[in-house]
């Protein structure tokens, strides 16, 4: 998710990664939090809640969970009772690199490796994020068909928008939904880049729609 989509101590943002529904927010200190989008009390989506006094508060009964530890610290119906120590939201390790909040779903521990991302080249900026109605595999095949090339693994792709250099970060959100975070040179004609980005999405979806 683009860093700019997650404001400090503000709303809770919904996200998906590999089919996992996530609640993304920032602590008062500014550190990103990537949690399972489910309150352990009644399984209500945490994205319906809000950040109150530096804690994520569920919209249903107001149970509040601390940043970083995700431990329940307040139950409004029992203000004098200390919540059990094991009453926590499931969390995922995350890191913020290159203007993107990255989550790692296979471990709650700190990531052992850096996210698969090179820093933005000097004079470049984030353009926009596209949601593409196609699987990650179909999107990769379409990008290759349209002349984009992998830079290392499957995440970072190099190509062009309206004839100008561009980068795409390809992330699987759901089995048939892929997110493309596009980046380009700051001095580019952004209106033309946006139009080219929309065309790229239409082309990918058209190719995917033609598959059996």
Residues ≥6 apart with Cβ < 8 Å to 205: 132, 133, 134
Phi/psi for 121 (5° steps) reads: -60, 150
pLDDT tens column, 111-160? 545 565 556 677 888 888 999 999 999 999 999 999 999 987 888 899 99
Cβ neighbours of residue 192 closer than 8 Å, sequence gap 6 or more: 161, 162
Instruction: Look up the pTM and report it.
Output: 0.76
Contact 64, 56 (CB under 8 A): yes
State both tokens at 44. Answer: 């209500």
d(CA 132, CA 209): 12
The pLDDT score that the predictor gives to residue 212 is: 44
Q: What is the mean pLDDT of residues 72-100?
A: 88
Write out pLDDT tens, residues 162-206. 999 999 999 899 999 999 999 888 877 888 999 999 999 999 999
């Amino acid at each position: 998710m683009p860093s700019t989509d997650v404001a400090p101590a503000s709303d809770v943002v919904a996200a998906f990664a590999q089919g996992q529904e996530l609640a993304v927010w920032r602590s008062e200190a500014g550190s990103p939090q990537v949690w399972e989008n489910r309150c352990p009390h009644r399984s209500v989506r945490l994205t319906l809640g809000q950040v109150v006094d530096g804690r994520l508060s569920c919209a249903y009964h107001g149970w509040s969970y601390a940043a970083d530890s995700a431990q329940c610290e307040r139950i409004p119906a029992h203000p004098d009772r200390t919540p059990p120590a094991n009453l926590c939201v499931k969390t995922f390790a995350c890191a913020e690199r290159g203007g993107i909040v990255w989550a790692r779903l296979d471990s709650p521990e700190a990531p052992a490796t850096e996210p698969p991302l090179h820093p933005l080249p000097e004079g470049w900026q984030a353009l926009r994020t596209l949601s593409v109605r196609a699987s990650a595999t179909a999107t990769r095949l379409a990008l290759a068909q349209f002349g984009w090339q992998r830079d290392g693994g499957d995440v970072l792709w190099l190509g062009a928008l309206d004839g100008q250099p561009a980068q795409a970060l390809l992330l699987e959100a759901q089995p048939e939904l892929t997110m493309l975070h596009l980046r380009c040179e700051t001095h580019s004609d952004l209106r033309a880049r946006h139009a080219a980005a929309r065309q790229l999405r239409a082309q990918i979806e058209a190719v995917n729609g033609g598959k059996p």
